Amino acid sequence: MDWFIHPFITNEFMVRALLAGVLVSIACSVAGTFVILRGLSFIGDALSHGVLPGIAVAFLMGVPGVLGAAVGAAFMIGGISLITHRSRLSSDTAIGLLFVGMLSLGVIIISHSSSFSGDLTRILFGEILGISTQSLVLQLVATLVIIAITIVCFRPFLLLSFDPEQAQVAGFSTRLFHNIMLFMIALTVIVSFQTVGTLLVFGLLIAPAAAGALLARRIQVMMTWSIIFGVLSMYVGLLLSYYYNLAAGASIILVTVIIFFIVFIIQNVRSRQIFSPRKKAHG
Amino acid sequence: MDKNIYVQAGSLDIGYKDETIVSDINLELRKGQALALIGTNGSGKSTLLRTIVSLLKPLNGALTVFGKTPGESPCRVAYLGQFHHGGFILPLRAIEVVRMGRFPMHGLLGRMHKEDDEIVWSVMRMMGIEKLANTPLRYLSGGQQQRTYLAQVLAHRADLLVLDEPTSGLDAGGRDLYLQAVRSELARGAAVVSATHDIQEEANMCHQVMLLARRVVAYGPPKTTLTPEALLETFGIVVTGDKRLRVIESVHGHDHGEELHDEH
């Protein structure tokens, strides 16, 4: 038993890491649920990497990385919307173009700094074991904002996921609420990158929510499962990292992905037993 | 301004930015009346419906819904589209889909009341799906899903129902329930516009029909409009065998794939 609690009793940095991790998990689960339901995975992926040049410039200028990430995210969303509306190209082409462009730009900027690999590792994989109080407070505020947005916009978000045209006809502007949703995803990415890094925040955005989607029959339940899986991954990932001296961010994400596959396998085995032949409601 | 005129179009051209699908549409739909749009795939039925609910902008001419620009009265308009993309992945039960029909009346945070629940259950009974209320959408058959979507539209208690092929995928029982529901919506004073292939029962139940073939072939009461000549012009071939008009379709092509799909 001691094995499970000891690291958190004796090390303040582990407590901070867990706190930050729980907040990130909640934010990622709430935003990630809609990323999964609306099929926005690619834009989530692109956003989490597209913020890199913003963060890199911020690091070089000595301003908080979060500010740079915000500028990077705004640039990404603006660029995607511009290309999609002003050309016949689909949004995933626009996303892909900006994604690789911004990622390369980020790496080029960082390669100019004196501690290239150190900075890059910090940005890509986060520094969950060195979270400041300031970052914790910021993460808390952002998580509360994300929860508030979800509560207020739940109906239009649900309609958008169900059928964007229904949302529009029902009087909820598709464009407005789509943009609010993108803002929410961007906010999640921006505040979470310090904890798990830009590379891994995407994993936390989709893996727990995807596992939740396999289990749940209701969106609220899906979100709850997602939070449980996210927090569990944080805890297990931190423990593994502590005892076996593994990279913390990567351990956490690997655990979330493993959880997804465990749920996936259990679901498949169960549905073969229960739904064989596939059970359908008749009436 | 006559408040009983729900939809009015004058010299209306509809279509997409770079392609006119149907031009010079004139129509007037009043409170308690039903209009059936009849035509092949790609004939302009869906385009007209989508223009009425303001998913498409009119290209030219005048179109008013409740005397206003389309899209200004979301609380009074219910729309059933042809395709529902989210149904496969969304963790939603049938009853939650039907409840969405009450969202326009309550906005973002308005609370649902007891009477909303009563409406939701009554329309589910009306479409014969009350026993499926707690079944996840993805476990429902195509016909059961269509009934659920219809119940959602009915739950709206709208003044204008705009329905794109509402009976697609329904079995005979489902179609009867649908026709019954439309009758009761009309009796309540609602107006209904639907795109349909049912030129027997549904079209004859309507006060007006419009035959479309990328132009308005005929418009008026079913008795004078659904003539073999007009149907021939609309569909290409008409077989009149056992007293029932049967239609063999030809497809009018246009670039926008959403109307071109396999229906049989």
- Whether the per-residue pLDDT at A240 is higher than 60: the answer is yes
Quick one: pLDDT at residue B8? 94
**What number of H helices and E strands is found in chain A?**
13, 0
Q: Which token pair is A36?
A: 């999964």
Mean of pLDDT values over A233-251? 92
Selecting from A161, A170, A172 the residue whose C-beta is nearest the C-beta of B86 gives A161
- Whether the per-residue pLDDT at A282 is higher than 80: the answer is no
Selecting from B90, B96, B144 the residue whose C-beta is nearest the C-beta of A283 gives B144
As a whole number of angstroms, the distance between CA A142 and CA A22 comes to 13
Contact A169 B131 (CB under 8 A): no
As a whole number of angstroms, the distance between CA B214 and CA B47 comes to 10
Quick one: pLDDT at residue A91? 79
Quick one: pLDDT at residue B88? 63
pLDDT digits (tens, 9 = 90+) for A73-83: 998 888 888 88
- A214 at interface of B, judged by CB pairs closer than 8 A: no
Q: Which token pair is B172?
A: 């005979």
Enumerate residues 6+ apart whose C-beta is below 8 A from B145: B84, B87, B137, B169
* Mean of all residue pLDDT scores within chain A: 88
- Whether the per-residue pLDDT at A280 is higher than 50: the answer is no
Quick one: pLDDT at residue B231? 85
Which runs of consecutive H residues, i.e. helices, occur in chain B? 45-52, 94-99, 103-106, 114-126, 142-155, 172-188, 201-205, 222-225, 228-235
Of the residues A87, A149, A169, the best mutation for testing chain B's interface (the one with the most B CB atoms within 10 Å of its CB) is A169
Quick one: pLDDT at residue B252? 54
Contact B96 A218 (CB under 8 A): yes
Answer for the pair A198, A51: CB distance below 8 angstroms, yes or no. Answer: yes
**What number of H helices and E strands is found in chain B?**
9, 11
Contact B103 A159 (CB under 8 A): yes
Kindly provide the ipTM of the predicted complex, given to two decimals: 0.85
Q: How far is A275 from chain B (nearest CA, A)?
A: 11
As a whole number of angstroms, the distance between CA A263 and CA A211 comes to 6
For residue A8, the surrounding DSSP H or E stretch is helix A2-10
Contact A162 B92 (CB under 8 A): yes
Quick one: pLDDT at residue A184? 94
Contact A219 B90 (CB under 8 A): yes
Q: Which residues of A169-200 are buried (b: 16+ CB within 10 A; e: fewer)?
A: bbbbebeebbebbbbbbbbbbbbbbbbbbbbb
Enumerate residues 6+ apart whose C-beta is below 8 A from B189: B31, B32, B159
pLDDT digits (tens, 9 = 90+) for A134-174: 889 999 999 999 999 999 999 999 999 998 999 999 999 99
Proportion of chain A above pLDDT 90, given as a percent: 45
- A148 at interface of B, judged by CB pairs closer than 8 A: no
Selecting from B79, B81, B93 the residue whose C-beta is nearest the C-beta of A218 gives B93
Answer for the pair A98, A80: CB distance below 8 angstroms, yes or no. Answer: yes
Length of chain A: 283
- A171 at interface of B, judged by CB pairs closer than 8 A: yes
Quick one: pLDDT at residue B258? 40
Answer for the pair B210, B218: CB distance below 8 angstroms, yes or no. Answer: yes
Contact B104 A171 (CB under 8 A): yes
> What is the SS3 assignment for B245?
strand
Contact B141 A282 (CB under 8 A): yes
| CA A140 to mean position of chain CA atoms | 15
* Chain A: residue whose CA lies nearest to B87: A162
- Whether the per-residue pLDDT at A126 is higher than 90: the answer is no
Q: Which token pair is B129?
A: 């799906």
Quick one: pLDDT at residue B49? 95
Partner B, chain A 33-72, Cβ-Cβ below 8 Å:
36-37, 39
Contact B100 A159 (CB under 8 A): yes
- B86 at interface of A, judged by CB pairs closer than 8 A: yes
- Whether the per-residue pLDDT at A7 is higher than 50: the answer is yes
Quick one: pLDDT at residue B55? 93
- A146 at interface of B, judged by CB pairs closer than 8 A: no
Contact B91 A165 (CB under 8 A): no
Enumerate residues 6+ apart whose C-beta is below 8 A from B233: B211, B213, B217, B218
Q: How far is B167 from chain A (nearest CA, A)?
A: 17
pLDDT digits (tens, 9 = 90+) for A57-98: 888 888 888 899 999 999 888 888 888 788 777 778 888 888
| Each residue's pLDDT expressed in tens, for chain B with a length of 264 residues | 688 999 999 999 999 988 899 999 999 999 999 999 998 888 999 999 999 999 999 999 999 999 999 989 899 999 999 876 655 678 889 999 999 999 998 989 888 889 999 999 999 999 999 999 999 888 888 899 999 999 999 999 999 999 999 998 899 999 999 999 999 999 999 999 999 887 877 778 899 999 998 889 999 998 888 888 888 888 876 665 555 555 655 555 554 444 333 333
As a whole number of angstroms, the distance between CA A187 and CA A180 comes to 10
